[in-house]
Amino acid sequence: MSLLLEQAAFLKDARKLLAFADEQGFVVTGGELERTPETQALYLRDGREKTMDSPHLRKCAIALNFFRATDDHHELMQSADKLEALGQFWEGLDPRNRWGGRRDAGAGLSRFERDPGGWPSSAVASLLTPVEPAAPVEAVALADASRPAAVILQKLPSAGLTPTLRRGSLEREAIARMQALLVKTGKLETANGNFDEQTERAVIAFQRAHSLVADGVAGEKTWTMLLSQTGEAQQAMAQRFIGDADFEAAAKDLKVELAALKSVYKVESNGKGFVGDQPKILFEGHVFWQRLSKLGLRPQSLAAGNEDILYPSWTKQFYVGGSGEWQRLTRAEAIHREAARESASWGLFQIMGYHWKPLGYDSIDDFVEHMCRHERDQLDAFCRFASTTKDRSGHSLAELLAARDWAGFAYAYNGKGYRLNAYDDKLREQYRRYAA
């Protein structure tokens, strides 16, 4: 069997494993799939590997993180007995499949691999292109006062090939991989696995060269831009990103400081307006209930079987984050397309869809089309919202931001419960960072 077919067969088994894990009630996040020879050499020097050979070099091994949902968070499963059933299932799919927990009850627990035979790792690895992992669930802030406070979705531990990296990060594998890409761009001389001052300067130089926000933090956008050298899909995605020039123009139009505008951008979206190729959304089932009622429909008669997308009062119980919110939206659209779209918050600044008319869009579909085009369009929606939305004293959000009235802005933007998540403190902290 060719290496290509071996890789395809391995991924088929991986899909079966994920389906089985889902049946067992696990929440799964992806980890390492591909590994470069440079990373393998680094692991060998550190003692984490014993040879220069690894199924990861041939894309026949994957690291997966398994979580169990508790009352208020997700707990990472880190013992062999809790994952034994998964290991047995994996090894039962093919006699060449191996679960790392058999050999190492620590780091090996998350590793599921296959022995593809004697394929030359170093020769093959040089021909393979990097694979983007799924976006992690993250903090989602709110751009509408009907929700009681900023909602923080449980953030799972950083894992995979492209975690957010900054000075002090300890993910040496990912750092080495990022540095190797920076070396290719000519921004860095060598890769050493340490996020040192030279690496930070190289990241900033790369960000400036590609019109990204130059903060020295390698997040999803910086990773995507780095990886765009090796894939058309990543390159197309990178073309949707916003840059410093866009913020400068928007700050001028709003008559606010650039640092103040960036502080909202950072707190609201953590700097990401898209999840994969779709705009980031958060679907609100209680708003969907209100929109259907306003149309004269009876949401009570539609709730059966749709309890996670249609409910009378706000709750964070049914938030799933990431691309899962699109699945919720798609189900709601089957009930009423326009009302469903109006019931989601969209993009970098999480503007509720039902604001489309006062913000000057022709329809909810026109609003959604703009949110899907570019982060620049999402920034424009925020500028419209900040200019037209006023607090109880008649001050616009833009005026509150210009005055650096963090508490006033937080109240008007996120409702009276903003203090539950110290939203104003986070804005103040980010402002100081950008102003410096």
Alpha carbon 172 to its chain's center = 21
Angle, CA 402 vertex, CA 398 and CA 403 arms, to 5°: 120
| CATH code for the part of the protein at 3-115 | 3.30.1380.10
Residues in a beta bridge with 281: 346
- Judged by phi (left if over 0) then psi (alpha if -120 to 50, else beta), residue 79 lies in beta
Higher local confidence (pLDDT), 243 or 353: 353
Residue with tokens 């309890």: 307
Report the C-alpha gap between 104 and 91 in whole angstroms. Answer: 16
All CATH 3.30.1380.10 domain ranges of the chain, comma separated, are: 3-115
Question: pLDDT tens, 180-235?
Answer: 888 877 788 888 888 999 999 999 988 888 888 888 999 888 888 888 754 544 55
**Helix 375-388 and helix 364-373, axial crossing angle in degrees, nearest 10:** 130
Predicted confidence band of residue 254 (pLDDT cuts 50, 70, 90):
very high
Q: Lowest mean pLDDT of 78-92, 149-163, 306-320, 341-355, name the range.
A: 149-163
The full DSSP string for 186-198 is: TS-S---S---HH
Q: What is the pLDDT of residue 366?
A: 95
Kindly state the percentage of the chain with pLDDT values over 70. 82
Q: Lowest mean pLDDT of 112-121, 151-160, 245-254, name the range.
A: 151-160
Predicted confidence band of residue 14 (pLDDT cuts 50, 70, 90):
very high
Q: Are 90 and 49 in contact (CB under 8 A)?
A: no
Q: Are 295 and 343 in contact (CB under 8 A)?
A: no
The full DSSP string for 346-414 is: ETTTTEEGGGTTTTT-SSHHHHHHHHHH-HHHHHHHHHHHHHH-B-TTS-BHHHHHHTT-HHHHHHHHH
- What SS3 class is residue 110? helix
In the Cβ-directed half-sphere of 412, how many Cα atoms lie within 13 Å? 22
Please give, one letter per residue, the 3-state secondary structure of 128-141.
CCCCCCCCCCCEEC
Phi, psi of 388 (to 5 degrees): -105, -20
Q: For residue 253, is pLDDT > 90?
A: yes
Question: What average pLDDT score do residues 85-94 get?
Answer: 90
Question: What average pLDDT score do residues 336-365 get?
Answer: 95
Residue with tokens 């000057």: 360
Question: pLDDT tens, 106-134?
Answer: 667 888 998 776 444 433 333 333 434 33
Residue with tokens 């937080």: 410
- Judged by phi (left if over 0) then psi (alpha if -120 to 50, else beta), residue 317 lies in alpha
Read off the pTM.
0.51
- How far CA 394 is from CA of 145, 231, 267, 386, 390, in Å, comes to 15, 49, 24, 12, 5
Report the C-alpha gap between 423 and 31 in whole angstroms. Answer: 31
